[in-house]
Amino acid sequence: MAIQNGDSDGALLSKPSDQEYPSLNRIPANYNPLTNYNLPKNRHYTQQYADMYFARLAQLKPAVEQVAAEAWQDFEIAGERARRVDRVLDVRQGELCWVIGTCYMEMPLKPNVLDDIGKEHWIAAPPARQKYTEGGEGDQVMLEDESGRLRLTGGALRSVLLVTGAIVAVIGTENKDGDFEVLDVRVADLPRQPPRWERDDGDTAVRGKSVSKPRPSGGKVAIVSGLSFSGDVGDTLPLELLSEWLLGESAGPDDQQDTSTISRLIIAGNSIAHGCPIPSREEVAAAALKSRGQKKYGYDSASYNAAPTARFDTWLANLLPSIPITLLPGESDPTATSLPQQAIHAAMFPHSRAYMQPPAVDHSSTEQERSWFTSTTNPTEFDLQGWRFLTIGGQTLNDVYKYLSTNDRLEMMEAMLRWRLTAPTAPDTLTCYPFQDGDAFVLKECPHVYVAGCQPKFETGVIEGPQGQMVRLLAVPSFRETGEVVVVDLESLGVEVVKFEVWEGG
Amino acid sequence: MAQEYTEYLAVHVLNEQQLVSYRTLSRALKVHCNLAKQMLYDFHHKQNTKKPGTVHATYLLTGIRRVTTSSQTNGIHSQDDEDIPMQSSGPLPSSSAAEPHDSIPESSIIRSILLVREEHLAQAKSTFDSISSIHIYSLECNGLSDIHTLTECNRQIDVNYASEDPLQAWKQYGTIQNPNVKRRVGKGTAPPPPAAPIEKNPQAKIAPSATTAKAKEAEMKAEVKPAAAVPTEKKGSTTTSFPKPVQAKRQNSDIFKSFSKAKPPAAASPVPADPDPKGEDDLMTGFSDDEGLDDDELEKEVGEAAKTLQPAGKSKKEREAELQAMMEQEDEEDEAMEDVTAATPDAAPAADVDAPAKAEEAEEPKETVTIENGRRRGKRRIMKKKTVKDEDGYLVTREEAAWESFSEEEPQPKKIKTAAPSQKASTGAKKGGAKAGGGNIMSFFSKK
C-alpha cells in the first residue's frame, strides 16, 4: 500500500521519524474595524422611508452633478447647448437638458405590498422570483426627485445597469408623449479611496508615535461564507476539514507552513442554515402543512433547534485559539433581518465569547486583543493590514441581481460601487432600517477590496476608478455548496481558492 | 513509543472497531499530528502486510487539481479575450474614465484538499496535476460505509479533551500557535472552551432516575438540575460532607454563567436555591425557569402570579374566602405557602422529590451558615411541596422538609416573608393594573 509520489509527500507516508516539527506561529495582521453600519442603541421605526431617498439624493447629488457637468458642459446637438435643469418637473418639452434624480424601476414582477396581502388569500402563492424583470418587457424606468417623476425611455438605457435607488444624471429631451428620451447617463462613480494605512497611520500619529516604521507582512486572509450549520449530521465533514486546515493540522508540513500565513478568517454570512428569526413565506407554508392547516406566523419556539448554533459555537471556539475571526451575519443568521443587519449577539456563543471584546470596553486592552473575535454588522467595513475591506453578506447583491437581465455578478458589484451605494435597492425591495439623517448605505470612501458573500460561484476581478482607484472585487461562494474558501494575499491582493472536497463513491 | 501507538491502534481500530483519525491519535498519545499521521501509516502498512485488508484507510490529498469542477469559472483564457469588448459596452459607459478593463476575470490558483477512501485513492490521484502532500486521515477496521461518519472523530475530541486548555495543550499537537491571542477570563465568561459536555457528567446520568416525578418541571434543565438535586438529597439522608455539592455548584455556575452573564450572583448560586434572590415568588416556582430576570421584572411577575391566585387582591376577604372554598387545591397550597415561608423564609420548592420525611427524621443536621467575604453560604432546611399520585389516582400534595445548600449576598433572610408576598403582590398587582388600564392610548403612539 505504500504510495509514494515524489519526495515531499512521501514524508507523511513513512515510518514515524524522530524529526522535530517546528512549532508554527501565525502571522499577525493589523485589524481596524469601522462602525459605519452600527445602528443606534435606541432605534425607532416610525420614520418614513421617503426621508431616506431624499437624504440619499441630497448626499449624492453634488458628486453626480460634478461628473455630469464635466461630461456635458459642451454637449451640443444641432447648435443647441444642453441646459442643466434643477428639478425633474422643470424639464420642458423639446428642450435639450440634463437632470439628476433617483431611479425607480416599475416592474411587473417586483414584489408589491398590495400583492403580498392579496397573496395571503390565494390558494397557491406564486413561486419566489429569480428575477423581477422579464427581459425588459413591461419594465419602466422613472427618474424621481422631490418634485415628481419623469418616465425615461431611449436606447441608452439598455446599455446601462439601473436599479431602484440609484442616483443618476440623464441627458436628453422630453418627447411629445411626455417621456424623457435619454441620450446618456452618468453616475457618481467611485468615491475617494483612502491610501493604504491611512487610518492606522492617523491613529498612531494621534497617539504621538512615529509613523514611518516598516510594517511586517500581514500574510493572507481567508474568506468563507455560507457555512450553513444545520441540525443534521452527516454533511459537516468539509467543515471539519476546513477547521483542521486552518489550524494547520491537516496536510503536509509545507501546507502547514503556508496556512500559518493566514492571519484572519472572515465569515461572510449564512453561517447557520435556518437561523433567521423570521421564517420565510415558504417556511410558514410548510409549517402550516405539517400542523394541518394551522398557520402560525412569526417565531415558533416549539420548533427551535439549538444544535446548529451550538455546533457553530464549538466550531468557532476550536479555531479561535489559533486564528482571529470576523463574523458577518447573513440572510439566514439569527439576528435582525433588516439591513444593516446588526451583529449576531454574543449570547449565541457561550464558548467562543471568551475571545470577544468584553461588553464594557476595556480601554487598556490593545487593538489586537479587542478584535480577536468580532461579530460585526452586515455590511461591514474594516481595515485589514491597511486595506479597506467592504464586506457584505450577499443580500444586497442578490437583490440587485433580480432587477437586471444580466447575470454577471461582478458587473453588478462594480455598478454598486460606482453608484456609491452598498444597498441601492433598500428600502424598495430589501428591508432596511429607516435612516433619518443620511443614508448609511451611501459609500463615503472607496474600499480596496469589496467582498460579497453567499454568491453562487467564485468570481474575482479588478476595477479602476477615475482617480486611479483600484478595487478588487470578490464574489465568495457558499461553502456548503462549493466547499470553496477564498484566500487573499494582504500584500499583493492576489487571490487563490482552496477547495475542500470529499470523494464520494465512484 | 512504537509499542504505545501500535497498542493504541490495535485496541481501538482492531478490537473496538473505532474510527481513529490522526487527530484522535495525536490527542491520545500527546504527539505532533504529523507524527500521528506517520504512525497511522506505519500501523496500516504493517497490518496489511501481515494480513491484507484488515485495516482500511482514508487519505487526505492536497494539491492542484485539474479543472473539472463546475465551480471553475476562470480557467478558459480564450474566452476572456472575447469577453472584454462585451464588457466595454457594459456596466456604466458613463464614468469619466470608463476604461473597460474592468472586471477582467483572471486566473487564480485553485488548491484542492480532498478526502478519499483508499479504494479510490489511485483514481483521485489521477485527477491531480500536482500533489503537495498526502497522508492518512483515518484508519478503521472495516470499510467505511459512510465517509461522513468521520466527523465523529472530531466530535469525540471535542468531548473528551474539553478540559484541555487549547492555548497550552494544542502546541504539542502542532496546531498553529498564535502569540497574540487574548482570551477573557473571569466572571461572565464560559470556562475554557470548547463544549464542556453536560451528558458526560456522571452525576447527571444518575440523576434522572433518582428524580422521578418532578422530571417534567426540570425538563428544561434536565441535565443540570438533577445533578444538583442529587447531592442535596444525599446530604439530607446521610450528611455527606460538603465537597460534592460544591462541585455540583461549580458545574451549575458554569452552565448558568454561559446563559446569564448579566447576573453573576444568581448564576453562581446553586440551582436548587435559585429562588433565593427572589424569595418571595415561591408561589410560582412551578413555572419559573427564568434565571436572569431583573428584580423589577420579578416583582411584576410576582404581582401577576398573585393576581392569578388571588384575583381580588388582599382587601376583598369575602371573595378570597369564596375562592378558597372553591379551589381547595389552591387553598391548600396557599396555606402551605405561608407555612413554608414562616418556617424557612427563602423556601424553594424547586428540587428533589425523593427526600422523604424519614430522611429528615433520621438525621437532623443543624442549619449552618458561614459567611465569607460578604456571601453567606450554608445549608438550611426548607419545605418542599410534592405532588404525587396515590394508588387511587388522586393527586396528593404534601409538605416535606429538605435540606439545601445556599449562598447569597443578602445579609440575612428577613422575617418579612409571611406578610411580604401578599403585600408586595397586591402592590404589584395594583401597579400592574394601573399600567394596563390607566394609560392614555396616545402614549402608545407617541415617540419614546
| 3-state SS assignment for residue A215 | coil
**Does a structural domain hold residue B86?**
no
Q: Are A93 and A176 in contact (CB under 8 A)?
A: yes
Strand spans (E) along A145-287: 149-153, 167-174, 180-187, 220-224, 262-268
pLDDT band at B405 (very low <50, low <70, confident <90, very high): confident
Say if A499 is an interface residue toward chain B (CB within 8 Å).
Answer: yes
Kindly give, in sequence order, each residue whose CB lies less than 8 Å from that of residue B124, ignoring residues fewer than 6 positions away.
Answer: A503, B59, B61, B114, B116
DSSP state, residue A249: -
Whether residue B368 sits in one domain with residue B252:
yes
Question: How large is the average pLDDT for residues B347-359?
Answer: 43
For chain A, the average pLDDT equals 83
pLDDT tens column, A291-326: 655 555 555 666 677 788 888 898 999 899 889 999
| Chain A hits for B42, Cβ within 8 Å | 14-16
Q: Are A377 and A340 in contact (CB under 8 A)?
A: yes
Which of B89, B111, B139 should one mutate to test binding to chain A, selecting the residue with the greatest count of A CBs within 10 A?
B111
| Chain A hits for B149, Cβ within 8 Å | 234
Q: What is the pLDDT of residue A462?
A: 92
Q: What is the ipTM of this complex?
A: 0.81
Whether residue B202 sits in one domain with residue B169:
no
Question: How large is the average pLDDT for residues B363-372?
Answer: 61
Question: How large is the average pLDDT for residues A216-245?
Answer: 85
Q: Are B144 and B11 in contact (CB under 8 A)?
A: no
Burial state string for A162-199 with b = 16 or more CB within 10 A and e = fewer than 16: bbbbbbbbbbbbbeeeebbbbbbbbbbbbbebbeebeb
Whole-angstrom distance, CA of residue A153 vs CA of residue B387: 78
pLDDT tens column, A122-168: 555 556 667 787 665 677 888 988 888 899 988 888 888 888 889 99
Whole-angstrom distance, CA of residue A481 vs CA of residue A457: 9
Q: What is the pLDDT of residue A452?
A: 93
Distance from CA of A11 to the nearest CA of B (A): 8
| Stretch 275-314 of chain B: residues touching chain A, C-beta under 8 Å | none
Whole-angstrom distance, CA of residue A414 vs CA of residue B101: 12
CB atoms inside a 10 Å sphere around CB A137 = 8
DSSP state, residue A224: E
pLDDT tens column, B302-352: 444 444 444 444 445 666 666 666 665 544 544 545 544 444 444 444 444
> End of a domain among B156, B173, B190?
B173
- Higher per-residue confidence, B423 vs B406: B406
Question: What is the CATH architecture of A50-187?
Answer: Beta Barrel (2.40)
Closest CA to B84 of B103, B97, B62, B111: B103
Domains held by chain B: number: 2
Whole-angstrom distance, CA of residue A165 vs CA of residue A57: 9
Say if B358 is an interface residue toward chain A (CB within 8 Å).
Answer: no
Beta bridge partners of A83: A97
- Predicted confidence (pLDDT) at residue B158 exceeds the cutoff of 50: yes
Whole-angstrom distance, CA of residue A150 vs CA of residue A98: 12
Helix residue ranges per DSSP H, B202-345: 202-210, 225-238, 243-259, 264-268, 295-309, 317-326, 328-343
The span from the first CA to the last CA of chain B, in angstroms, equals 71
- Percent of chain B exceeding pLDDT 90 equals 0
| Stretch 119-148 of chain B: residues touching chain A, C-beta under 8 Å | 120-122, 124-125, 131-137, 146-148
- Predicted confidence (pLDDT) at residue A107 exceeds the cutoff of 60: yes
| 3-state SS assignment for residue B66 | coil
Please tell me the least confidently modeled range out of A327-336, A399-408, B355-364. B355-364
Please tell me the least confidently modeled range out of A201-215, A229-243, A462-476, B318-332. B318-332
pLDDT band at A79 (very low <50, low <70, confident <90, very high): confident
Q: Are A178 and A151 in contact (CB under 8 A)?
A: yes
Say if A356 is an interface residue toward chain B (CB within 8 Å).
Answer: yes
Q: Which domain holds residue B162?
A: 2-68+110-173
Smallest Cβ–Cβ distance between A12 and the set B96, B112, B133 belongs to B133
Report CB contact under 8 Å: B125, A5: yes
Whether residue B285 sits in one domain with residue B143:
no
| Chain B hits for A259, Cβ within 8 Å | 176
Q: What is the pLDDT of residue B351?
A: 41
**Does a structural domain hold residue B210?**
yes
Say if A237 is an interface residue toward chain B (CB within 8 Å).
Answer: yes
Whether residue B278 sits in one domain with residue B420:
yes
The span from the first CA to the last CA of chain A, in angstroms, equals 20
DSSP state, residue A421: B
| Chain B hits for A358, Cβ within 8 Å | 184, 188
Chain centroid, CA A389 distance in Å: 10
Kindly give, in sequence order, each residue whose CB lies less than 8 Å from that of residue B446, ignoring residues fewer than 6 positions away.
Answer: none
Pairing of strands B56-65, A83-84: unpaired
Whole-angstrom distance, CA of residue B385 vs CA of residue A195: 71
Smallest Cβ–Cβ distance between A314 and the set B101, B102, B194 belongs to B194
Q: What is the pLDDT of residue A298?
A: 56
Whether residue B131 sits in one domain with residue B248:
no
User: Per mean pLDDT, which of A280-284, B38-42, B361-365, B434-438 is the most reliable?
Assistant: B38-42
Whole-angstrom distance, CA of residue A187 vs CA of residue B189: 50
Whether residue B260 sits in one domain with residue B169:
no
- Higher per-residue confidence, B327 vs B165: B165
Q: What separation in angstroms does the CA of A427 have from each of A10, A51, A104, A445, B278?
A: 58, 11, 12, 22, 46
Reduced to 3 DSSP states, what percent helix, strand and coil does chain A have, rounded to the nearest 5?
25, 25, 50
**Does a structural domain hold residue B242?**
yes
**Does a structural domain hold residue B183?**
no
| Chain A hits for B448, Cβ within 8 Å | 42, 44
In the block, cell 472552551 appears at B193
Chain centroid, CA A287 distance in Å: 30
pLDDT band at B3 (very low <50, low <70, confident <90, very high): confident
* Edge-to-edge strand list for the sheet holding B109-117: A373-375, A325-328, A262-268, A220-224, A484-489, A495-502, B109-117, B56-65, B128-140, B20-21
Closest CA to B133 of A315, A34, A7, A384: A7
Whole-angstrom distance, CA of residue A455 vs CA of residue A484: 11
Question: How large is the average pLDDT for residues A367-376?
Answer: 74
For chain B, the average pLDDT equals 60
Closest CA to A82 of A184, A230, A219: A184
Q: Which sequence spans correspond to the domains of chain A?
A: 26-44+206-499, 50-187
pLDDT tens column, A9-45: 467 888 877 777 888 888 888 888 888 888 888 888 8
Which of A3, A5, A9, A12 should one mutate to test binding to chain B, selecting the residue with the greatest count of B CBs within 10 A?
A12
CB atoms inside a 10 Å sphere around CB A102 = 23
Whether residue B261 sits in one domain with residue B409:
yes
pLDDT tens column, B33-72: 888 888 888 888 888 888 888 888 889 989 887 664 433 3
Distance from CA of A350 to the nearest CA of B (A): 5
pLDDT tens column, B90-143: 344 443 333 334 444 445 678 889 888 888 888 888 888 888 888 889 888 877
| Stretch 256-315 of chain A: residues touching chain B, C-beta under 8 Å | 256, 259-260, 310, 313-314
Helices (H) and strands (E) in chain A, counts: 11, 20
Q: Are A121 and A82 in contact (CB under 8 A)?
A: no
CB atoms inside a 10 Å sphere around CB B332 = 14
> What's the topology of domain A26-44+206-499?
Purple Acid Phosphatase; chain A, domain 2 (3.60.21)
**Does a structural domain hold residue B295?**
yes
Report CB contact under 8 Å: B92, A415: yes
Q: Are B422 and B280 in contact (CB under 8 A)?
A: no
- Predicted confidence (pLDDT) at residue A448 exceeds the cutoff of 90: yes
Say if A355 is an interface residue toward chain B (CB within 8 Å).
Answer: yes
**Does a structural domain hold residue B99?**
no
**Does a structural domain hold residue B78?**
no
Report CB contact under 8 Å: A235, B148: yes
Whether residue B132 sits in one domain with residue B38:
yes
Distance from CA of B295 to the nearest CA of A (A): 21
Kindly give, in sequence order, each residue whose CB lies less than 8 Å from that of residue A494, ignoring residues fewer than 6 positions away.
Answer: A488, B108
Q: The domain spanning residue B11 has which CATH number?
A: 3.90.1030.20
**Does a structural domain hold residue B190?**
no
pLDDT band at A505 (very low <50, low <70, confident <90, very high): low
Whether residue B276 sits in one domain with residue B142:
no
Rg over alpha carbons for chain B, rounded to the nearest Å, is 33
- Predicted confidence (pLDDT) at residue A1 exceeds the cutoff of 50: no
- Predicted confidence (pLDDT) at residue B408 exceeds the cutoff of 50: yes
Q: What is the pLDDT of residue B107?
A: 56
Whether residue B380 sits in one domain with residue B424:
yes
Say if B100 is an interface residue toward chain A (CB within 8 Å).
Answer: no
Whole-angstrom distance, CA of residue B317 vs CA of residue B209: 44
Closest CA to B103 of A462, A108, A128: A462
* Domains A26-44+206-499 and A50-187 alike in fold: no
Question: How large is the average pLDDT for residues A46-51?
Answer: 86
Residue A165 backbone dihedrals phi, psi, to 5 degrees: 100, -20
Q: What separation in angstroms does the CA of B317 have from each of A348, A437, B306, B419, B424?
A: 49, 58, 15, 15, 17
Chain centroid, CA A496 distance in Å: 20
Kindly give, in sequence order, each residue whose CB lies less than 8 Å from that of residue A28, ignoring residues fewer than 6 positions away.
Answer: A216, A218, A263, A368, B178, B180
Whole-angstrom distance, CA of residue A462 vs CA of residue A470: 7
| Chain A hits for B111, Cβ within 8 Å | 496-499
| Chain A hits for B150, Cβ within 8 Å | 237, 240
